[in-house]
Structure 1
C-alpha cells in the first residue's frame, strides 16, 4: 500500500491523524464504492490534530499552486516565524498567530515566494493572524474553537476571514478539527467527481461537496479527499486521463461515466462543457 506523500495538504505522515482501517464493504452509493476502491490503492488515515492556525496558513499557501511548490514555502515560514526559529525569548514566539500578526509583509512575502502569489498570500496571512488574535486571543484558543465548537458555526466563521474559501475552511475542519463528514473539494476532486458522475457535470465546488458528503460515510470523507487528489495526479489528470490509454489503464474505469471524455477521438473537455454541447 502506498505511503502518504510528504508534499500533501494534509501535512504528510507527520501532519497529524492516525492510520485507520477502512475495510472494503458493500457500499450503498457509487461514491462510497469509489472511496473503498481508493482505500485498496492508497494509505488509509483518519485526520485531525494539526494546529488550527498553522493548518490555515498551510492551506492559504496551497491556493492556486501545487503542494510541491507550497510545501517549501510552509517550511520556510515555520523556520523563520515558528517556535523553533530562535531569536527573542518573548513568549509570543510560541504563538505563530501573534508573531505573524506583527510580521513585516515584505519580509513574509519573500519567505513564501515559492508558493506563488506571495504578495497576496502574505497579506491574507497577516490579516488572518491579526483577526484571530483580536477575536480569540491566542493560537491555542483558536485551536480549541476549531476542535470544540459546532462544525457549521466554525465553517461560517472561517469563511468570513479574508482569503478563506470553502476548501480552506473545510481543510481546517478536517486536518485540525478531525471532523467526520467533511470532504474538502479542490480542483482535482471537483474534476474527478463530475467526470465520474458522482456529482452533476455542472456542479460548482459546493455542489460537489454536498454530493460527496451525502454519499460517502462520514469516517471516510477525509481519506476520500486526500486519496482522490492522489488519484487525480496519477490517473485522472485534467488533460490526459489514463482511460485514453484503454480501460485497463485506469483502476476505476468501471465506476466512471467519463463525462467529457471521448475515448475514440481521444479528446477531453470539462464535464460542464460536454453537457452544454449536448443541449
Structure 2
C-alpha cells in the first residue's frame, strides 16, 4: 500500500473545515459505478467542493498537470507568495509576469517553461475576456456549467480534466467527475468503462452512472484509492485478492495475479 494514506484532517479540514464522513449505502446503488463510489465512502472523507477562487484553482490545476501533488504544491505556494497577496488581482499579476522568472518560481512542478507560458497566456485571456480574476470567478460560479466547460476548453493548455476541476472545486457543480490518470486507469481496470475508453469516454460513463451529488466525492476518493490500493504497476490484488476492498466487484482487466503481470486495460484488446 501507498505511504500516502488519507489524512485524518484532509484538505477540507475534517469536520471543522466542512468535511464530513460519506454516508452512502452500497446496497442501494443502481449501478456498479455508484456501488464503487459508495464503497469508497466507507474508506474516505468527503471533501469541500466549491468555494475556491476560480482563477487560483485554475492555476493550481495547471501546475498539477503531469506531476504529483507533492511536487506541485510547493510551486503553487511559491507562485502565490511572489505574485499573489491581499488585494492583488492574480490574473493581472501573472499576465505581466516575466516568463523566465515565473518559470524559475514554479520549477518544482516540472515542465516549468511550458507551464509558465500557459499561465501567462491564460491570465491574459482572463483579462481580455472578463476583465479581472473576480469577474472570471463569477462566470465560473454563475454561468451554465456546459458553457463554462466549453469556454475553458477553447483556451490553449486547458484540457477536460482542468476544466472539470475548476467546475468542481471552484464552481461546486454537481454531476462533474474529473478524470485524471487514477480515475482513467481504475474504472477501465474494474470493467466499468470500456478498456480502450479515453478520458472523455470514462467521464461519460461515470457522469451517466454516478448520481450528481456523488461525483465530486467519487473523483477525490478514487484518486486516494488509486494511491493506496489500485496503483498503476502493483495493485493490492496482485499479491492478495483480499487486500482490496473492491475485489468482489472488479473485473481485474489487465491484471494477472497468476503471472504477476499488469498491463494497461487497452492492451487486452490487442
- TM bucket normalised to smaller: over 0.9
What does residue 55 of structure 2 align with? 53
What does residue 19 of structure 1 align with? 19
Contact 1:22 1:220 (C-alpha < 8 Å) held by counterparts: no
Contact 1:174 1:222 (C-alpha < 8 Å) held by counterparts: yes
Contact 2:179 2:203 (C-alpha < 8 Å) held by counterparts: yes
What does residue 34 of structure 1 align with? 36
Q: Does 1:203 align with 2:207?
A: no
Aligned residues: 262
Contact 2:12 2:48 (C-alpha < 8 Å) held by counterparts: no
- The equivalent position to 1:94 in structure 2, one of 85, 88, 103, is 88
- The equivalent position to 1:130 in structure 2, one of 101, 124, 129, is 124
Contact 2:254 2:265 (C-alpha < 8 Å) held by counterparts: yes
Contact 2:255 2:262 (C-alpha < 8 Å) held by counterparts: yes
Residue 45 of structure 1: CA displacement?
Answer: 2.8
Q: Does 1:259 align with 2:264?
A: no
Taking structure 2 as the reference length, what is the TM-score of the superposition? 0.93
Unaligned runs of 5+ in 2: none
Residue 135 of structure 1: CA displacement?
Answer: 0.8
Shift in alpha-carbon separation, 1:5–1:166, aligned structure 2, 3 A: farther
What does residue 151 of structure 1 align with? 145
What does residue 9 of structure 1 align with? none
Classify the secondary structure of the residue corresponding to 2:59: helix
Q: What is the alpha-carbon distance in structure 2 between the residues aligned to residue 46 and residue 194 of structure 1? A: 27
Contact 2:21 2:44 (C-alpha < 8 Å) held by counterparts: no
- The equivalent position to 1:221 in structure 2, one of 215, 222, 236, is 215
Q: What is the alpha-carbon distance in structure 2 between the residues aligned to residue 182 and residue 170 of structure 1? A: 6
Shift in alpha-carbon separation, 1:14–1:126, aligned structure 2, 3 A: farther
Shift in alpha-carbon separation, 1:62–1:169, aligned structure 2, 3 A: same
Q: Does 1:80 align with 2:82?
A: yes
Q: What is the alpha-carbon distance in structure 2 between the residues aligned to residue 194 and residue 156 of structure 1? A: 26
Classify the secondary structure of the residue corresponding to 2:45: coil
Residue 24 of structure 1: CA displacement?
Answer: 2.3
What does residue 167 of structure 1 align with? 161
Q: Does 1:187 align with 2:181?
A: yes
Q: What is the alpha-carbon distance in structure 1 between the residues aligned to residue 139 and residue 222 of structure 2? A: 29
What does residue 89 of structure 1 align with? none
Q: What is the alpha-carbon distance in structure 2 between the residues aligned to residue 61 and residue 39 of structure 1? A: 28
Taking structure 1 as the reference length, what is the TM-score of the superposition? 0.90
The runs of at least 4 aligned residues of structure 1 exceeding 3 Å deviation read 1-6
